[in-house]
Structure 1
Amino acid sequence: MIYDFDSLIDKLNYLEEETSPKWGKMNSFKMINHCNNFIEVSMGNQKISLWTRLFGRLFGKVFLKYLKSLDFDINRYPKNSKTLKEFKPFISQESFLNQKNRLTENLKIVKELKSHYTIHNIYGKIETRLFKKIVHFHTSYHFNQFGIL
């Protein structure tokens, strides 16, 4: 299956700094920062703690089975779910526009992955199509949270 990352990038253009979420505590800047962290941690571009890596390798496959049981349906995933500290938004001096541009570039990088397998920083070796599905699901979930999807 092909995941429409171009559509996500297009939807990102509708997000403004003042856009309010339908639920949750994050503002739009924090959400973009969180989505960037999610992709960058997943791809190994940001360091994670040994504890997170071990926890992910031990229990990550269970979480992936849970997502599969939901058919990766963003409407069935619970709102206000906890996240790993590595994915949490952090104080950044970057502008809102720079964060948006960074997310656009990160989504393009994921879209262009061609190898059969990807080394996920938390789950380990997974099929690239599953990695793309996870990123698409996660980003779609938060775009829905902010009413742009």
Structure 2
Amino acid sequence: MLDDAVYAGCLERIDRLAPDTRPRWGRMSVAQMLAHCAEVQEVMNGNPLEGTPWLFRLAGPLIKRSVLSRRPFPKGAKTHPQYLRTSQKRFEPEKRRLLKALDEFRAAGAEGARHPLFGPLSAEEAGWGAFKHLDHHLRQFGV
């Protein structure tokens, strides 16, 4: 996500989404997906993730290894309950929110990032994790 070409490609893919874009798998609407991705990115940007169950904190290193691996996320993988968005969301505000969070991530450079569940991340780990998650959901919606 820190590479200019990768970032530009992600922005172009986000721009191809429309309020009526349907998922290829899963139950989220496109607006819910944008809200989910924005919230995950905001946590990567340093916003607190409150109320994380102790079991998730204990399993953080294992989850980190899976998230940062080169294997794609499986289709239909369960969303962390704190990131589950079931309420109705509005497409344009959530799209703007995601774009703002991505811009803030790039502006900060991600060096020395600290994830509330994974702990310290290198810039490469933070960039890859941000890309892998967003890419998974953009593929979910066919872009």
Range into which the TM-score falls when normalised by the shorter chain: 0.7 to 0.9
The question of 1:89 aligning with 2:85 is answered yes
Paired position in structure 2 for 1:25 = 27
Distance 2:130 2:33 in 1: 14
More displaced, 82-91 or 139-148?
Answer: 82-91
Shift of 1:115: 5.3
Comparing 139-148 and 4-13, the one that deviates more: 4-13
When residues 63 and 80 of structure 1 are mapped into structure 2, their CA distance, relative to the original with a 3 A threshold, is same
Q: Distance in 2 between matches of 1:137 and 1:56?
A: 20
Sequence identity (%): 24
Are 2:30 and 1:11 equivalent residues in the alignment?
no
Query: Which of 42, 45, 48 is the matching residue for 1:43?
Result: 45
The aligned counterpart of 2:121 is 126
Give distance in 1, aligned partners of 2:102 and 2:9: 11
Instruction: Show CA shifts across 1:4-51 (max 9, x none).
Output: 222211211110010011111111011101101111233342541052
Unaligned runs of 5+ in 1: none
State the Cα distance separating 1:107 from its structure 2 match. 1.1
Extract unaligned runs of 5+ from structure 2: none
The 3-state SS of whatever aligns with 1:18 is coil
Residue of structure 2 equivalent to 1:140: 135
Runs (4 or more) in structure 1 with deviation over 6 Å come to: none
**TM-score normalised over the length of structure 1:** 0.82
8 A Cα contact 2:22 2:141, kept in partner: yes
Once the two structures are overlaid, the 10-residue window that deviates more, 7-16 or 138-147, is 7-16
Asked if structure 1 preserves the Cα contact closer than 8 Å seen for 2:45 and 2:105, the reply is no
Count residues with an aligned counterpart: 141
SS at match of 2:108: coil
Task: Summarize deviations over 1:46-97 as a string: whole Å, max 9, x none.
Answer: 541052xx4444212212223454x1x43xx2111112122112536x6311
RMSD of aligned C-alpha atoms? 2.2
Alignment of 1:68-107 (within 5 A): 68-69=68-69, 71=70, 73-74=71-72, 77-91=73-87, 95-107=90-102
Cα distance in 1 for residues equivalent to 2:56 and 2:46 = 13
- Which residue in 2 is equivalent to 1:59? 59
